[in-house]
């Protein structure tokens, strides 16, 4: 079944001859949770998500807890295995890889983790941690030292830190070491899973700017996962919003932030504290809480909290179609773009 989201996934890009670096189609990741002696429940953490990332581009993936965004990240680097769907890297299918081929795939897609404390082995020096990445790439021992120094310089860390242990570094420094480690294998794509969420706000800017510099230099693509829309506004070229395992909105940064189509996106944007809007009218808060991914509401999963919900929303899940401003959104109520409505 051709998903309209896929066909129209690059809303305003000129028809590029090269395939996107990452092309995810109808990704499903289901977990079986055991209850009692014989019962088990299927948790559909990711239920039919499609997106693509071009070379040198950043796709932001936003959503609250339970939305499945972290699962998407971890599935892309194969910490979890996809239940269904395909993950194409430069046009080649990678979802079912194993063994040697999986190892080769792993080098092309790396991850920077949320926790700056636990993602580095406390008993390994910085240069050994980065060196591990170099081993994977097959860098000979002789060149190890100079490459480590190069990478440290790349992430703006003084070479003197190479012999230290992670416990002696600050959170921001550790995160930069993680970035250096990821860069050591020369990946095409780096998945940043809430990479700056645990850092002090003043440090975040440093790390985000660093990531942007690296992207400009090396042409790496990013899948940037975050619950913080202001960060995404800064980092992402295109944005996808997830709710309970599905995409609800998907378009360029300008499209989504200027005129959000889906009511959930609107609520998320309205909830961001905006210094410029202080003293103005307070936006209406979103009622209720995100549902349990193990038992989502029927029809549109958002309907119990949605101010626009109608009868149809309770029974039929809305497809992802192009809306008036140009981006894709999954909503029965919001008017479609003229060419679709016809």
Partner 1 sequence: MTAPPEGSFLSGQLPTAAVEPAAASELAAAADEPSLGRRALTSLRRDPVALISVIAVIVLALVAVFAPLLAPHNPLQAYPNGLASNGAPVGPGSSFLLGTDPNGRDVLSRLIFGARVSLLVGVVATGLASIIGVLVGGIAGYAGGIVDSVLMRITDVVLSFPILLFCVALIAITGPSTRNVMLVIAFGYWTYLARIVRGLVLSLKEREFVVAARTLGIGHRAILRRHILPHLVPAIIVYSTLGIATSILIEASLSYLGIGVPLPQASWGQMISQGQQYFQTAPWLLVAPGVALVLTVLAFNLAGDWLTDLLDPETSGDRR
Partner 2 sequence: MTGWLLRRFGQMIIVILGVVTLAFLLAYVVPGDPARLVAGPNASPQAVASIARQLGLDQSIWSQYVSYLGRLVHGNLGTSFALQDQSVGGEIWRALPYTVWLALGGVLVEIGIGIPVGIAAAYRPRSIMDRFATLGALVGLSAPPFWLGLMLLYLLGYKLSLFPLSGAGSPLIWYLILPSFTLGVGGAAFYSRMIRTTMLAVLRSPYVEFARLKGMPERTILFRHTLRHVLTPVITMIGMDLGYFLGGVLIIESVFGLPGVGQLAYNAIGELDIPMITGTVLVAAVFMVVMNFIVDVLYTVIDPRVRLSRH
Which CB sits closer to partner 1, 111 or 334? 111
Q: Is 208 helix (H, G, I), strand (E, B) or coil?
A: helix
CA–CA separation, 237 vs 105, rounded Å? Answer: 25
CA–CA separation, 266 vs 269, rounded Å? Answer: 5
CA–CA separation, 232 vs 230, rounded Å? Answer: 5
Residue whose C-alpha is closest to residue 191's, from 23, 61, 51: 61
Least distance between partner 2 and beta carbon 36 (Å): 5
Identify what 36 binds: partner 1, partner 2, none; CB under 5 to 8 Å per kind.
partner 2
Q: Which residues contact 152 (CB under 8 A, 6 or more apart)?
A: 126, 130, 158, 159, 161, 162, 180
Which CB sits closer to partner 2, 294 or 308? 294
Binding site residues, partner 1, CB under 8 A: 77-79, 103, 106-107, 110-111, 113, 115, 117-124, 132-133, 135-136, 156-158, 160-161, 164-171, 173, 178, 181, 185, 201-202, 204-206, 208-209, 229-230, 233-234, 253, 257, 272-277
Q: Which residues contact 83 (CB under 8 A, 6 or more apart)?
A: 28, 29, 30
Identify what 164 binds: partner 2, partner 1, none; CB under 5 to 8 Å per kind.
partner 1
**Which listed range, 34-42, 77-85, 249-257, 322-330, lies at the site for partner 2 (CB under 8 A)?**
34-42
Which CB sits closer to partner 2, 38 or 342? 38
CB–CB of 119/193 below 8 Å?
no
CA–CA separation, 267 vs 276, rounded Å? Answer: 18
**Which listed range, 33-41, 108-116, 200-208, 210-218, lies at the site for partner 2 (CB under 8 A)?**
33-41
| Cβ count within 10 A of residue 258 | 12
CA–CA separation, 195 vs 20, rounded Å? Answer: 24
Least distance between partner 1 and beta carbon 116 (Å): 10
Identify what 12 binds: partner 1, partner 2, none; CB under 5 to 8 Å per kind.
none
Which CB sits closer to partner 1, 42 or 79? 79
Identify what 37 binds: partner 2, partner 1, none; CB under 5 to 8 Å per kind.
partner 2
Q: Is 143 helix (H, G, I), strand (E, B) or coil?
A: helix
Least distance between partner 1 and beta carbon 5 (Å): 25
291 alpha carbon, distance to own chain's centre: 21
CA–CA separation, 181 vs 120, rounded Å? Answer: 10
Q: Is 38 in the site for partner 2 (CB under 8 A)?
A: yes
CB–CB of 323/261 below 8 Å?
yes
Among 37, 142, 160, 278, binds partner 2 (CB under 8 A): 37
Which CB sits closer to partner 2, 38 or 160? 38
Residues of this chain that interact with partner 2 (CB under 8 A) are 36-38
């Amino acid at each position: 079944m051709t998903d309209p989201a896929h066909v129209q996934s690059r809303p305003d890009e000129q028809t590029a001859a090269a395939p996107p670096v990452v092309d995810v189609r109808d990704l499903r990741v289901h977990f079986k949770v055991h209850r009692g002696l014989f019962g088990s429940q299927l948790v559909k953490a990711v239920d039919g998500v499609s997106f693509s990332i071009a070379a040198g581009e950043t796709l932001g993936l936003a959503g609250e807890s339970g939305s499945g965004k972290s699962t998407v990240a971890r599935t892309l680097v194969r910490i979890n295995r996809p239940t269904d769907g395909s993950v194409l890297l430069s046009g080649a299918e990678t979802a079912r890889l194993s063994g040697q081929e999986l190892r080769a795939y792993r080098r092309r897609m790396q991850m920077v983790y949320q926790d700056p404390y636990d993602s580095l082995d406390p008993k390994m020096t910085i240069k050994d941690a980065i060196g591990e990445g170099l081993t994977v790439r097959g860098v000979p021992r002789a060149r190890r030292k100079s490459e480590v120094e190069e990478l440290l310089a790349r992430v703006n860390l003084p070479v003197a830190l190479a012999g230290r242990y992670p416990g002696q570094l600050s959170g921001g420094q550790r995160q930069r070491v993680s970035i250096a480690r990821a860069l050591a294998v020369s990946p095409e794509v780096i998945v940043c899973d809430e990479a700056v969420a645990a850092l002090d706000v003043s440090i975040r800017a440093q790390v985000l700017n660093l990531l942007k510099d690296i992207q400009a230099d090396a042409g790496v693509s990013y899948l940037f996962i975050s619950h913080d829309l202001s960060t995404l506004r800064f980092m992402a070229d295109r944005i996808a919003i997830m709710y309970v395992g599905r995409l609800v909105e998907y378009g360029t940064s300008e499209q989504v932030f200027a005129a959000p189509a889906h009511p959930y996106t609107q609520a998320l944007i309205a909830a961001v504290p905006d210094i410029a809007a202080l003293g103005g009218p307070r936006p209406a808060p979103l009622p209720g809480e995100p549902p349990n991914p193990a038992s989502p509401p029927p029809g549109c999963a958002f309907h119990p909290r949605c101010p626009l919900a109608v009868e149809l929303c309770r029974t039929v899940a809305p497809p992802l179609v192009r809306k008036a401003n140009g981006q894709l959104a999954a909503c029965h109520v919001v008017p479609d773009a003229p060419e679709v409505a016809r």
